Amino acid sequence: MLLRQEGRALVVRTPAKLNLFLEILGKRPDGYHELETLMMTVGNYDTLRFTEENLPAHSSASRSSMSSSASDSSLPMTLACHWGGAPNCSPGSLPTGADNLVMRAAQLLREFSGTCRGVHVELTKRIPLSAGLAGGSSDCAATLVALNRMWELGLSDQQLLKLGAQLGSDVAFFLRKTPVAICRGRGELIEPLAQPMRLHFVISKPASGLSTAAVFRHCHAAIEPRSVRPLVDALYSGRLSLAATRLHNALQQPAEELNSDVIRLRRQFARLPFVAHQMSGSGTSYFGICSQREQAESLAAQVRSTGRDHVFVASTQS
């Protein structure tokens, strides 16, 4: 997550994530599942532009307005959202209502802090939706960090993490601003790791998406859970072909039962010379790993030529 001041606006660039490992350890009394997962940010970003103004600016993009707030004197909070990725991959209408995680984060911050200050957010989406890439959680974390600064709330990292956990299980990973982490609990307990060797991914997102809740409803806790450690050891000793044998996503099987596009992508990726491939998070996006960017670009062209999916290349930071 990168913040920069541009005149009166605070601009945040916030990344997508991939899960190279995800194991289900059990179902919890609160209905969530206990996880062990390895998450990595990749170079596919949404951009959020925050401006504070007394009256919301007008724009042609889809927008919503929310002025229900801590007090009657609260200033408006508005969100405008447009697609900034490849034009032929636009997901259509983008959700800008009060249930958008950006608006929920702003509203929660306002309730928690008692501030009446308002904001206009311009969200440029490039991270595909309902994809298992955590675009919504990433935007949510960016909003908490940016508004804490812009509204001069002075909340600690710990307080932001607590608020983030109320908004989604993946939000904590982005708040920690680490490129890689092992995440446990329901995803909010973060063990930050350094960046391993540089990896290049071909990511394909079919037009269909999956609801995270639906995929978790279909999953089963592992009887003999795998550990993330062997994958971490292989990655951090630079043995990519060994790491490739240790990729795992326990949500892939239930996702395949719910959505045949995931099966189609698995078969398509299996025919190409990726080091390894699997679904990310709760899907439906599917990724293949390459050791070289040029090879990723060339395999992406092959994946793209055979279908109508949203296919792109993203690398980890060097």
Choose, by CB under 6 A, the member of 12, 20, 35, 144 that binds ligand C5P. 35
Rounded Cα gap, residues 276 and 269, in angstroms: 9
Footprint (CB under 6 A) of ligand C5P, residues 204-263: 212-213, 216
Supply φ then ψ for residue 242, to 5 degrees: -75, -45
CA nearest neighbour of 41 among 169, 158, 135: 135
113 binds ligand C5P (CB under 6 A): no
Question: Nearer Cβ to ligand C5P, position 188 or 256?
Answer: 188
Catalytic residue among 46, 125, 139, 170: 170
Indicate if 17 belongs to the active site. yes
Task: Examine residue 284 and say whether the peptide bond preceding it is cis (omega within 30 degrees of 0).
Answer: yes
**Residue 239, helix vs strand vs coil:** coil
104 binds ligand C5P (CB under 6 A): no
CA nearest neighbour of 12 among 124, 172, 120, 91: 124
Beta pairing class for 180-185 and 33-51: antiparallel
Question: Nearer Cβ to ligand C5P, position 173 or 274?
Answer: 173
Instruction: Name the token pair of 107.
Output: 């509203």
Indicate if 170 belongs to the active site. yes
Question: Nearer Cβ to ligand C5P, position 190 or 311?
Answer: 190
- b/e 5-17 (16+ beta carbons within 10 angstroms → b): eeeebbbbbbbbb
Beta pairing class for 180-185 and 119-125: unpaired
Q: Quote the least distance from Cβ 185 to ligand C5P, whole Å.
A: 8
Instruction: Name the token pair of 283.
Output: 């899907």
Binding residues for ligand C5P, total number by CB under 6 A: 11
280 binds ligand C5P (CB under 6 A): no
Q: Quote the least distance from Cβ 227 to ligand C5P, whole Å.
A: 17
132 binds ligand C5P (CB under 6 A): no
Choose, by CB under 6 A, the member of 128, 168, 281, 283 that binds ligand C5P. 168
Question: Nearer Cβ to ligand C5P, position 61 or 189?
Answer: 189
Question: Nearer Cβ to ligand C5P, position 41 or 115?
Answer: 41
Choose, by CB under 6 A, the member of 25, 32, 208, 236 that binds ligand C5P. 32
Q: Quote the least distance from Cβ 235 to ligand C5P, whole Å.
A: 23
Choose, by CB under 6 A, the member of 15, 187, 196, 281 that binds ligand C5P. 187
Q: Quote the least distance from Cβ 35 to ligand C5P, whole Å.
A: 5
- b/e 20-57 (16+ beta carbons within 10 angstroms → b): bbbbbbeeeeeeebbbbbbbbbbebbbbbbbbeeeebe
Choose, by CB under 6 A, the member of 33, 117, 125, 200 that binds ligand C5P. 33
Q: Quote the least distance from Cβ 280 to ligand C5P, whole Å.
A: 14
Q: Quote the least distance from Cβ 98 to ligand C5P, whole Å.
A: 16
Beta bridge partners of 248: 21
CB atoms within 10 A of CB 205: 27
Task: Indicate the helix (H) or strand (E) that contains 205.
Answer: strand 200-205
CA 124 to chain centre: 14
Catalytic residue among 17, 125, 205, 261: 17
Catalytic annotation, residues? 17, 170
The contact set with ligand C5P (CB under 6 A) reads 32-33, 35, 168-170, 186-187, 212-213, 216
